A and B are shown apart, each in its own frame.
Chain A
């Protein structure tokens, strides 16, 4: 709608321009050369018709035409031509044509009336002229008959015959040349005949009456016929046809002139329109070029953008790769650090029993010469006794020596001491084997990666492993009996170890307290493990950051900053959650919930390999992660 409103003015202007053009074309169109040609032709035909018509009237008068069809038939065509000219006059310009057209119509109508009058008169004239000699002949026959029968008033009849004959001659002469003198003479004769009538006998009276009638008719008709013919000859129709032709010419010329003006106007207007269109075209071209340029720069920008994006992507991906590499290296370093810590712990653990095993064995070794002399003494005595040749002395000395040594043995309770030492050594060895077992439990290398796992046991194992770190810190264990959960035990143990290590690091060796609690979640959906310490706590602003990789508060070189991020990832991969509650100066609590069952495909274990035990330390590092 809005668009339409905005386009309306230009639409109106366009309509106006086209309207003016149409009007100009119409003004040009209104002059048709064929109209002029047709008008000319019709005027010429009219002229011919009119001339022939006049000629045919004369031919009819002279009885060259045997009937009046030739002077009646042109009427239809004359009417048609006039009607057509009337239509053409409208086209040529009614105003300038009206007068000459009217004049012509009037004169032709007048002529038509004259021709009608001529026909009426001519027919009667012809008949009377033909009949007059007959009538006169008949009168003369009657007179001759009367004479023959010896009529009484022969003089009067002779006079009648004479007058009739004179009349006939005069009328015939009058018909040839109608002049006033003859007319007077004829009227004179007619008057004489009329005067004779009352005294004539009926047949003569009747016959002479016929003569009078027809002579009178000739006189009247001839006079008016000449008059009519004169009028026809003088009819201005021919002239008026010429005038009409001229009027047509003038009108058409005026029209032509006007049309030429219109044509000039049309040409000028067309030129204006053309210029306007050219202007529009140039504007269009310009805006097109502008558009084209903008488009091209946009395309260029697009291309460079693509290149830049590709470059950036490339940079990013290489950075990512480097990051991944360094991440892997860091993870590896973390692993090695953890390993180091653990190894240190484990070494310490093993060192103590190893020390007293060594002590015991050294003590046992120091008693060996006594045992050796005892064995030697007893052996010498037995040999002497067996030889029988030995002196009693020797025997007694040997016996005494043996007795001395044995009593020494008995006095020092050496055998018991040895036994105790060996017991001690055995105990140390047992301790060491227990540590190794725990290590094995911790790493669970000997078991499937996904297993049912009791977190309490896991915590116990971990605590053992972490003993080197814990040292004198007090550990409170508040374990509830929990169901075994489905998980990767080595990874969960790593989580525990990291958190316990963190707790240790956050607390002082003396007075440090670590509280580890396990709960069953409502509806046995899973388990909750809480590891709390009474350490220095984490400032609020770090609460979100502590899980970020490489975030650490420890001095450089002590921590990788990956511990908690690894913990979070392991927990999340198990479908669990981890949260943190901490207050500076009070302590920190990490809570972990783990679901009872795994729903998704389990972490492969390749992502984050379990902390390798000391034995596996030499094994090649796991393949790099495929996913970021």
Chain B
């Protein structure tokens, strides 16, 4: 499986670098936290992504030609300045149409086990393709997009250089997905998990402890602090009964499987960069983190918590913000 396995020199390099890495890991072993339900982000470089494809994918991410009237691009709803989402309750697609659901962040989305709130896309490619075809989002189709890009000599050249068959839907999606895989946001908390005890404050540490103790971590776990399971919104309380005015989007995964058990089932979202991606929940019902945490305690944990504890938890949640965003202000 390893491309370099057939070449003696890279293999030797690999072996030695592995030995080196092992030694380093051994030295750090006493520091790195073991058995935590949250794991640090993987190293993107280990995925050996083609930097040219990443570059092309980034270009396409910002290319409005993917939409029917060249008015919307991926970046329209997934802005780096808004934590990889758009800050709106629901996103505005083509011709000013409002979408039915709150846009999830693109950051760390490569770690999600499925895409979209209802998990209807298995891969990043399927997700992007879904957006291109959605009449409320890009309202386009691949022949249209491919022909538009084919009219651009620089695009044709860029694709030709990377893909034998030039511009095609598969290749466009592959480039975009490759780019999206690079959008990981290591945080101070990751450094903490890796053994840097001082990477987060004592309050944040306390928040993390409460996060675990209250059981938030039962769903928001793994490398992406969520994103690897479905959970019923209102599992311990009747959220939708209290909220009223159900929409189709509120049916969650039921829309995909049509199984009664999947009613109101949603993909547990990542909590990384949660500080930046208000409003919260698929229906953007929580404008602030406080509200969101309250809702979670009420309907998901089904237990009370002190305001102080919630405050600590929120402090912890903010430590999950990617360090590249923390430096900005």
Contacts and interface: CB of A to CB of B under 8 A. Distances in A.
B228 A72 contact: yes
A130 interface: yes
B113 A210 contact: no
A66 B229 contact: no
Interface of A: 66-69, 72-73, 75-76, 79, 113, 116-117, 119-120, 123-124, 126-128, 130-131, 135, 210, 213-214, 217
A436 B230 CA distance: 158
Chain A interface helix/strand/loop/mixed? helix
B113 A72 contact: yes
Contact of B39 (A67, A123, A128, A214): A67
A335 to B, nearest CB: 104
A127 B230 CA distance: 16
Q: Nearest 10 pairs between A and B by C-beta?
A: A127-B215, A67-B221, A123-B218, A72-B228, A119-B229, A72-B113, A69-B222, A67-B222, A66-B37, A67-B37
Interface string B215-229: 100110111000011
Nearest to B228: A72
B315 interface: no
A119 B230 contact: yes
A347 to B, nearest CB: 121
Contacts of B223: 69
B172 interface: no
Interface string B229-261: 111100110000000000000000000010101
A79 B257 contact: no
Given A120-B265, A131-B215, A66 B302 contact: no
Interface of B: 35-39, 113-114, 122-123, 215, 218-219, 221-223, 228-232, 235-236, 257, 259, 261, 265, 301-304
Which residue among A69, A117, A128 has the maximum number of chain B CB atoms within 10 Å of its CB? A69
Contacts of B231: 119-120, 123-124
A55 B114 CA distance: 22
Given A67-B39, A210-B304, 11 more contacts: A66-B36, A76-B113, A79-B123, A119-B231, A120-B265, A123-B215, A124-B235, A126-B218, A128-B302, A210-B303, A213-B302
A217 B236 contact: yes
Nearest to A221: B235
A156 to B, nearest CB: 23
B175 to A, nearest CB: 19
Given A66-B37, A67-B228, A72 B222 contact: yes
A116 B118 CA distance: 12
B301 A66 contact: no
Contacts of B302: 128, 131, 210, 213-214, 217
Contacts of A69: 39, 221-223, 228
A108 to B, nearest CB: 12
A214 B218 CA distance: 15
A217 B301 CA distance: 11
Contacts of B301: 127, 131
A73 B39 CA distance: 13
A124 B229 CA distance: 12
Contacts of B304: 210
Given A126-B215, A127-B215, A73 B37 contact: no
29 contacts: A66-B221, A67-B228, A68-B228, A68-B229, A69-B228, A72-B113, A72-B222, A75-B113, A76-B113, A76-B123, A79-B123, A113-B257, A113-B259, A116-B229, A119-B229, A119-B230, A120-B231, A120-B235, A123-B215, A123-B229, A124-B218, A124-B231, A126-B215, A127-B215, A210-B302, A210-B304, A213-B236, A214-B303, A217-B235
B236 A124 contact: yes
Nearest to B111: A69
A69 B123 CA distance: 16
Contacts of B37: 66-67
A210 B228 CA distance: 28
B259 to A, nearest CB: 8
Given A68-B221, A68-B228, A72-B229, A117 B261 contact: yes
Nearest to B225: A67
A214 B237 CA distance: 11
Given A131-B303, A135-B303, A116 B230 contact: yes
